Structures are given as C-alpha cells and as structure tokens.
Amino acid sequence: MKIVSLNQIEKKEVTMKGANKAFKQVLLSREDGAPVYSYRVFTVEPGGFTPYHQHDYEHMNYIIEGHGVLVNEKGEEQKIKKGDFALVLPNEKHQYRNKSKDKPMVLICGVPKQFE
C-alpha cells in the first residue's frame, strides 16, 4: 500500500515538442508496483497547453482545478472545468489548453502503467 500527497512529488516541465507552460507529477506508477494504471497530475499554467498529439492507448482525465478546453482531432475545442471527466480513446488526437488568464488548470491523468 502507498499513500502520497501531491505536494510531495516534484513537478517537472513537459518537454515534449508542442507543450507550453505544462508540468507533470507522477504520483503512482509501475515503479510503485501498480498492476494496471499510472496516475499523473498535469498542471497547465494560464495560457499554456499540452502537446497536440496522439498515442495508441486510452487515458482518463479528471479536472481538479481550473478550466480550459480539450481540443479534439478535428481541432474543435470542448470546454472543460473543475469536476469534469474526460476520456481520450486510443489514437485520438488531443490537446489540453488553459484559457484562463490567471489560474492554473490541474488534471489527473490515468494511463496504462507501461506508458508512463
């Protein structure tokens, strides 16, 4: 069993091409013995965004703070806010954008452990 607080985990800048003002914390992963999923927290600063990308696995997200948009593979923006869940299917192109001028958007992201 493992219990960890978000403030105990180092926040690292997302260096993937196309990311801006996005940071990642890995809370639980295969390194902790997780059998199926890894859980990460992404913080997207005001005006920031994750890369516009796709991958061959699903991931599930929960917005724990702030608001913004989830951009789909057609380039359309869907509003997201604190309390919303989002499912991104395998090979679905996507991007999270923080549209706020002054507040971070923070989201939990669950992925199969082998992809962390």
52-64 pLDDT per residue, tens? 999 999 989 999 9
Task: Tell me if 1 is assigned to some domain.
Answer: no
Task: Tell me if 24 is assigned to some domain.
Answer: yes
Task: Tell me if 26 is assigned to some domain.
Answer: yes
Report the candidate in 75, 70, 79, 82 with the shortest Cα–Cα distance to residue 107.
82
**Predicted local confidence at residue 116, as pLDDT:** 76
Interval 12-34 mean pLDDT: 95
**Predicted local confidence at residue 10, as pLDDT:** 95
Task: Tell me if 52 is assigned to some domain.
Answer: yes
| Domain extent for 42 | 6-115
Q: Give the CATH number for residue 87.
A: 2.60.120.10
**Predicted local confidence at residue 92, as pLDDT:** 95
**Predicted local confidence at residue 27, as pLDDT:** 94
**Predicted local confidence at residue 114, as pLDDT:** 84
**Predicted local confidence at residue 20, as pLDDT:** 97
Q: DSSP secondary structure string, 51-111?
A: --B--SS-EEEEEEE-EEEEE-TTS-EEEEETT-EEEE-TT--BEEE---SS--EEEEEEE
- Sequence letter at residue 108: I
Q: Structurally, how many domains does the chain consist of?
A: 1
**Predicted local confidence at residue 115, as pLDDT:** 82
**Predicted local confidence at residue 90, as pLDDT:** 94
Task: Tell me if 18 is assigned to some domain.
Answer: yes
Question: pTM of the entire structure?
Answer: 0.93
For residue 108, the cross-strand partners are 41, 62
For 62-114, write each residue's pLDDT tens digit: 999 999 999 999 999 999 999 999 999 999 999 999 999 999 999 999 998 88
